[in-house]
Chains A and B, each alone.
Chain A
Amino acid sequence: MAPRRVDAFLPLTPPMLHTLVALADGDKHGYAILKEIGRRTEGAVRLSAGTLYALIRRAEADGLIVETDERPDIALDDERRRYYRLTALGRKVAAAEIDRLQAIVEMAREKKLVPRPRSV
């Protein structure tokens, strides 16, 4: 299959974006991704297990993440769980989605829909 262009993946669904972001700082297994999203959004985004693995499956099929054999955190390792890593494509796609959102936020600010953050 010819490699798909980054744009072809956009827009990402919020759960997909959260999943990719959760993997940005290191390999994680499914449950860890779930916990991370819950923690970072303070419970605002809650993924259910079935939805999460369906997402992982799709991201894997699209080449956004890969399963990895390396075990990053010895202490927390559960060797029967599968660990996933963000691919270069996945990183680009996530970044592109964030840029896209950024552009929308910029636009909204210009139109004074939301306040600008206090600059330093």
Chain B
Amino acid sequence: MSAARPSVTERIFRALVRLFPFDFRSDHGHDLEQTLRTQHREAQREGSIAAIIRLWLDVARDVCTTAPREHLAILRQDVGYALRALRRAPVFAASAVLTLAIGISAMTGMAAVLNTVMFRPLAVDRPEELISISNQSRLSHYVSYKDFQDYRAETSVLSDAIGYVPRVATLGVSGGSERITLELVTDNYFSMLGVQPAAGRLIQPNEGRAPGEAPVVVLSYDYWHSRFNADPSIVGRSVRLGSHLFTVIGVSARSFRGTESLVRVSAYVPFWMVDTFMSWVEGQSEFEDRSVRSLTVLGRLQPGVSLEQARAALVVRAARLARDYPDVHSDISLRVIPETHARPNPSLGGFLRMAATVLSGLAAVLVLITSANVANLLMARAASRGREVALRAALGARRGRIARQFLTEGVTLALLGGVVAIPVVALAMTALRNFVSNTTAVIAFDADFGFDVRVLTAMLVMASGAGVVAGLAPALAACRGDLGATLKNDPRGPSNCSGGRMRSVLVVTQIALSLALLVSGGLFVRSLDHARHVDLGFEPKGMLLATTAPALQGYDFEKRLAFYTAARDRIIIIPGVEQAAWVQFPPLGIIGEAAEVAPEPRPSDPDWRAALAAEADISPEYFETARVRLVEGRSFDARDRAGSTPVVIINQTLASLFWPGQSPIGRALIADGDRVEVVGVVQNGKYQNVGEPPRSAIYRPVAQRSPVSASVAVRASGAPIDLARAVRQAIAEANPEVSVYDVRPMTEHLDNGNAFFPFRMAAFMSGLFGGMGLLLASIGLYGMIAYHVGQRTQEIGVRMALGALAADIIRDVLVQGGRFAAIGIAIGIVLAAGLAQLLKGLLLGVSPFDPITYSAVAGLLIAICLVASFVPARRATTVDPLIALRTE
């Protein structure tokens, strides 16, 4: 044989032939190559370049059309065969499809959530150019109007920038009124986003030139539909927002759902009108003061400018601002990230992505378990279909072809599973959407977790992957096993040995993976349990909350205060109410407030930085209502009213931070620029989340602050929920104009708020995945043991005939099941430890290697494995020796 390397043409011919399916190649590859070679030689002999070019073009066109057609023909044949085979075994088909549907549903659901949170572009022009510009500071990520204007002026990198801020308002029209979430937007909002009107016109650049000058409103398409029946004559009419009249100028496009993926915005109003809608800081101008930060900012990159270039330019601008305004910019750094990374807001984006990724990882593990389960089913069927497979092999089907058939069967099953998953996921996502909308009524949350091309593509890819994994094991067995053996009269089917081992591996894999899932679930349950036992610094049981926002009615300081007083006076006389008090933000809610505080006089150290403290305005009875212990000094009382010395009550952490070892009573501090005098000290508590380290906190009297919104906390002598109706009624009697929302027991507020919600969600999801995984694994183990017992029927029969006891037989089978369980658990513990490392950031008060969780889960798995083995073991002892021997 010649050792010379084949010529280029020769190699091209071979490469072309390789494009055809395996079967085609082995039948006709040689001839095809030969023919191409001859044709090429003839064309060369003709001597014209044209003839050679024509031949090559012809060959290229031919191969490009024929090869895919041949692949498709085989695929169609395989799918047809798979469907026919599945129709003949409907029970098998249904169980395999449903099993796969479980994993695919979980994964598709996660994909739908991830899509909404991280991937789906906004329904605006060229969404990929949008970047989020936010402050990274201890207080908030919002940007002041002045700073926004400075960033917007960076036109070398930004073609434009918009700012917006969501606000809650009551919208009154023809008699009725209702609370809506609206967005105050800079005048270039719609023009930069490229949104078109569905009716009328949108807010335009230069819509008003000064604060208060543009009392116009654009309705969102959905709100226009639901509230005004899509009546086009609404354009030009007036509606009351809060205490002011606004003219409806138009409706935004149907596809436009705002710039925040989780908020349902009903209307858009020029930012010039911000003061109309309960500005949180009174006496300061949102337009002039750089310390008033309220805007969320999105920029649009200039064409050809990268995110890094824009970041570099903007950071330089921020540094200049820090130099020019050191008092308000000293502890801010700028964060410039893609818009998709800033959901639901720039500071939470990272955490949410991490949590979502972890949960997707858990769902992926569940998919693997379902695939292993179906692989097992396919193997079992391959064993019982041994004769058929062997016959096909004898009739000339190659092993590769049979293996391909198994893969096709796996993928067909998984795609059918995907079809089943679609309605399941759609239902689950609707439920989740409802759940999200109900978490709080302060801002209208609404996340559209629906299907789109991206989710469906992800599902298709996942289902195909799951199908390949499921089909792989039987395919490998088909490739390796001696398929001819069956025809030589082996009644138990082919490849018992290698197939059996493969099935054992699959069962062990399932046990190991479900252990890993259950351990994650267990760790979250333990975190939740820990969270529930953390000392919150108040007594949540027996408390009812109801929230109001009198500022929505346009009430000023005095009117708000009068409302708070009147409402409390009526609530306190309700039978069953022990105490009642106003609190601006109940602790551990989704919304809270923080303030920068410094002792007066300020420490001389130039590097000294003001402390950040949780802040809430309260009425005098709050500590008694919430059962917060007063450590020193006094609570607020009638002395603390508007005009008298501004006072503050601090917690122990702040007291020991500013005045270690001394009494803080009578001392002064600066909170958010106000000089206030300390009159009392209360015990520490949890303010933002249960996992936080001891934090500073300050309380100021409602009478001196008159907050724009507040919740009434009611201490009930009985079940707090029983008071809900009476409390609502009492507030309505005090003032029927002010609407009441989020009436619920404190325990529910904690469950659905920052306190416990993340742990509850994580425990629920991973517990659900783990439970499903465990169920599938135990079914797999049961099938496996039952199969083995079936294999040994004769042996068991003989042993029984020779006088073996049923207990011995049962023990034997249990030992076999126990062995699988032990190996699976050992591997699973290693896997779980790896997985738990990833979860570390999400756990609270529990080590990722918590021995209690690991041993409880392992114990549970052993118990379930023993039960799964016991059933077939028991059946084995009922074997009639005579029948067993007769089949020999």
Chain A interfacial positions (CB closer than 8 Å to B): 29-31, 34, 46, 48-54, 56-57, 78, 80-82
Quick check: A57 and B34 within 8 Å, CB to CB? no
* Chain A to chain B: the 3 pairs with minimum beta-carbon distance, closest first: A48-B62, A50-B66, A53-B28
Q: What's the dominant secondary structure at chain B's contact region?
A: helix
Within 8 A of A (CB), among B50-106: 58-59, 61-63, 65-67, 69-70
Quick check: A57 and B62 within 8 Å, CB to CB? no
Closest to B63 in A: A50
Question: Can you list 8 A-B pairs with a CB-CB distance of less than 8 A?
Answer: A31-B35, A49-B32, A49-B39, A49-B62, A50-B32, A50-B67, A51-B62, A57-B28
Residues on A with beta carbons closer than 8 Å to the beta carbon of B66? 48, 50-51, 54
Residues on B with beta carbons closer than 8 Å to the beta carbon of A53? 24, 28, 31-32
Residues on A with beta carbons closer than 8 Å to the beta carbon of B31? 29-31, 53, 81-82
Quick check: A48 and B69 within 8 Å, CB to CB? no
Question: Does B44 sit at the interface, judged by CB under 8 A?
Answer: no
Quick check: A48 and B34 within 8 Å, CB to CB? no
Within 8 A of A (CB), among B16-66: 20, 24, 27-28, 30-32, 34-36, 38-39, 58-59, 61-63, 65-66
Quick check: A49 and B24 within 8 Å, CB to CB? no
A44 to B884 CA separation, bound complex (whole angstroms): 72
A78 to B24 CA separation, bound complex (whole angstroms): 20
Residues on A with beta carbons closer than 8 Å to the beta carbon of B59? 48-50
A48 to B24 CA separation, bound complex (whole angstroms): 16
- Answer whether A30 and B30 are a contact pair too, CB < 8 Å, given A48-B62, A50-B67, A53-B24: no
Quick check: B69 and A54 within 8 Å, CB to CB? yes
A31 to B35 CA separation, bound complex (whole angstroms): 6
- Would you give the shortest CB distance from A110 to chain B, in whole angstroms? 38
Closest to A50 in B: B66
A30 to B27 CA separation, bound complex (whole angstroms): 12
Quick check: A56 and B35 within 8 Å, CB to CB? no
- Would you give the shortest CB distance from A62 to chain B, in whole angstroms? 13
Quick check: B24 and A81 within 8 Å, CB to CB? no
Residues on B with beta carbons closer than 8 Å to the beta carbon of A80? 30, 34
A82 to B27 CA separation, bound complex (whole angstroms): 9
- Would you give the shortest CB distance from A83 to chain B, in whole angstroms? 10
Residues on A with beta carbons closer than 8 Å to the beta carbon of B62? 48-51
- Would you give the shortest CB distance from B181 to chain A, in whole angstroms? 63
Closest to B31 in A: A30
Quick check: A48 and B61 within 8 Å, CB to CB? yes
A48 to B30 CA separation, bound complex (whole angstroms): 16
A46 to B59 CA separation, bound complex (whole angstroms): 12
- Would you give the shortest CB distance from B519 to chain A, in whole angstroms? 54
Residues on A with beta carbons closer than 8 Å to the beta carbon of B67? 50
Residues on A with beta carbons closer than 8 Å to the beta carbon of B27? 57
Closest to A33 in B: B35
Quick check: B63 and A81 within 8 Å, CB to CB? no
Residues on B with beta carbons closer than 8 Å to the beta carbon of A30? 28, 31-32, 35
A46 to B61 CA separation, bound complex (whole angstroms): 13
**Besides A30-B31, A31-B34, 19 other CB < 8 A contacts?**
A29-B31, A30-B28, A30-B32, A31-B35, A34-B35, A49-B36, A49-B59, A50-B59, A50-B66, A51-B62, A53-B31, A53-B32, A54-B66, A54-B70, A57-B24, A57-B27, A81-B30, A81-B31, A82-B31
Residues on A with beta carbons closer than 8 Å to the beta carbon of B34? 31, 78, 80-81
Which of A29, A48, A51, A52 is the most central at the interface, judged by chain B CB atoms within 10 Å of its CB? A48
